[in-house]
A = this chain, B = another copy of it.
């Protein structure tokens, strides 16, 4: 057992062509357009498992990026998360191709009733034998609201109130409806499940009502590992209560440290320990066998990346149509949106469009670490130490080589520094991430719903 903190790693991807580092789909070796094929995903899963990745984290968006130039033209030409397929449907194929890799799947709470969504997650937790995580997303693009035929997007805080209520229904179903000993599978007595060990939930919340039995029997984790990415004030409070893994954006280690500290304080305020949440920073890595190989690779990637596409993506997140600005014109940044932290940073720095495009040279907003394996490993370790974080969501560059390179070049260097596991531990995703049990810990808000009086 190593004493040094082990870095956690998720591959950060999406069921689409352009995800974070836009424009790289035009690289001759890039295969991200093969996202429609199962083998693309099963091959990727096997590569990640070879590199002992903790999980693959799949983003999602419902709606389109239509702020920049008030159109989707650039979005379509550069395939900026459009087209985008459903991520949840990839899981069972990747699970069949692997044994340990975890799956963090983004699903918006506005898409369906908690009752049927609870079953989807339980089904995946069964099929993966406890390797499923859910990235809780509550917001929506305006274009999604119109596409879904909903009456209008909720105010930011109301969204989180709704999501709190949604989660309560889920906890009741996942944690409270079936006792651990409900399923006995006794062929002789002809009892599959003991009726007195299964109970109806009765939920009458401000936003959701549900009365019924959970449709799924208990899975290994019951509640999937809960991921979240909101970092606004209300979002942090929501994360402090619910999230077990939090994904943050940070421009540097000091910013990461500040956000991580604030998030752990929220967890403590919710009765948990600081270490009960694992914090992942979004990161782009370009490793080479040698420093010069890495630099040459970076230059090649930058030739294919499209900063303007990155700007169009950022426009959707910030609500600002940057196409309306001259290169050096001052930009008035708003606050209070979904990726507030990045907008805040841009506002603090007073970035003009020209400066934004420079920041987005790789087509995306994440810090870029370049170098040979040793240099990348040490830089990542320093992020963990100085940033007070637990690991990384590694954005892809050219697919699949960005993950193959990371596994072949960086992983051994992390391992030789005792900063990364050399084999998977057994058990569920939650057990491996936290070194404890398969289920929500007793100090987690959701654990109270195991008790009968909280279900009724």
Contacts and interface: CB of A to CB of B under 8 A. Distances in A.
Contact of A84 (B62, B97, B215): B215
A146 B82 contact: no
A331 interface: no
Contact of A33 (B146, B192, B198): B192
A423 interface: no
A93 B92 contact: yes
A97 B92 CA distance: 11
A96 to B, nearest CB: 4
22 contacts: A17-B192, A26-B190, A28-B187, A33-B192, A36-B217, A62-B116, A62-B119, A64-B212, A76-B192, A77-B191, A78-B192, A83-B183, A84-B119, A84-B216, A86-B123, A88-B89, A93-B93, A111-B112, A112-B112, A112-B116, A115-B147, A148-B210
A211 interface: yes
Given A62-B115, A62-B119, A149-B209, 12 more contacts: A33-B192, A36-B126, A72-B213, A77-B195, A85-B215, A89-B89, A89-B91, A89-B124, A93-B127, A96-B97, A111-B112, A146-B211
Given A26-B190, A95-B38, A111-B113, A213 B64 contact: yes
Interface in A95-123: 95-97, 111-113, 115-116, 119-120, 122-123
A150 B114 CA distance: 12
A190 B92 contact: no
Interface string A28-64: 1000010011110010000000000000000000111
A123 B35 CA distance: 10
Interface of A: 15, 17-18, 23, 25-28, 33, 36-39, 42, 62-64, 71-73, 76-79, 82-86, 88-93, 95-97, 111-113, 115-116, 119-120, 122-124, 126-127, 129, 143-144, 146-150, 178, 183, 185, 187-188, 190-195, 198, 208-213, 215-217, 219, 306
A168 to B, nearest CB: 12
A395 to B, nearest CB: 19
A25 B187 contact: yes
Given A79-B192, A113-B149, A123 B93 contact: no
B85 A119 contact: yes
A79 B193 contact: yes
Given A76-B192, A127-B38, A195-B73, A210 B149 contact: yes
B23 A190 contact: yes
Contacts of A27: 187
B216 A85 contact: yes
A119 B82 contact: no
A167 to B, nearest CB: 15
A195 B64 CA distance: 13
Given A28-B187, A37-B127, A149 B93 contact: no
Contacts of A62: 115-116, 119, 215
B192 A115 contact: no
Nearest to A201: B147
Contacts of A127: 36-38, 89-90, 93
Contacts of A187: 25-28
B83 A216 contact: yes
Contact of A215 (B82, B90, B111): B82
Nearest to A83: B217
Nearest to A187: B26
Given A38-B127, A96-B42, A86 B185 contact: no
